[in-house]
Amino acid sequence: MSQGGDFPEVVIHPTRSKTLANIFGSTMFAVAAVFFILTPDTAARLIGVAAFTAFSASAIYSTYRLISNAPVVVVNAEGIYDNASPFAVGWVDWSEIERIEPRRNYLTRLIGIRPHDRDAVFARVPQHRRWMVRALAVMSHSPINIPAALLGRRLDETQRMIERYHDRFGH
C-alpha cells in the first residue's frame, strides 16, 4: 500500500456484468458479420471481414479480462497504472501528466490523459502493442484513454478520484 494519508492505493477491477455484456455483444456482432462475409458483394465482404476481426478481438479480450480479473486501473501517490484496454500504456507517474479530461470517442466515454511527453510514455509500451496505442492516440486525440467499458466504478467517479490524486501529487 502506498503512503499518502487520505490517498490510499485504489485498485479498480473489471466489473463482471459489463464484461459479460461486452462478450455477448461482441459475439453477436461477430456472428452478424459472418452474414456480410457470405454475401456476393465485395464491399459487404470487406466490411464483414473488418467487423468480424474487430468484434472477435473484442470478445476474446473481454473473455481474457473476465478470466484474469487483473486490475484495470491502480491509483496511488506515485501515479496511475492503466490496464483498462488492449491499448493501455501501463504505469504513468503523476509528474508526467499534463491534463486529465473527459473524452467521447464515437459512442464510448473515456477518461483522457495527456502526458507532457507522449513519446516517453509510448516508449515504455511493449513494441508489439505500441503501434495500436499510437493509432488510438491519433483517433481519440488523447494519448492515454481509460474507457468505461470494463470499469468496476462509474467513469465520472473514477475521473474525479484520478484528478484528486493528480492535484495532490502531480507537481
Q: Examine the domain organization and report whether 43 and 117 are in the same domain.
A: no
In a domain, 37, yes or no: yes
The reply to whether 99 and 135 lie within a common domain is: yes
User: Residue 59 sits in which domain range?
Assistant: 16-68
pLDDT at 2: 43
Q: What's the pLDDT tens digit per position in 18-38?
A: 899 999 999 999 999 999 999
pLDDT in tens, 87-142: 889 999 999 999 998 887 677 788 989 999 988 988 888 888 888 888 877 776 67
Q: What is the 3-state secondary structure (H, E, C) of the chain?
A: CCCCCCCCCEEECECHHHHHHHHHHHHHHHHHHHHHHCCCCHHHHHHHHHHHHHHHHHHHHHHHHHHHCCCCEEECCCEEEECCCCCCCEEEEHHHEEEEEEEEECCEEEEEEEECCHHHHHHCCCHHHHHHHHHHHHHHCCCEEEECCCECCCHHHHHHHHHHHHHHHCC
pTM reported for the whole predicted model: 0.81
Would 3 be classed as within a structural domain? no
Q: Are residues 84 and 60 in the same domain?
A: no
Domain assignment of residue 118, yes or no: yes
Please check whether residues 60 and 77 belong to one and the same domain. Answer: no
In tens, the pLDDT along 45-57 reads 999 999 999 999 9
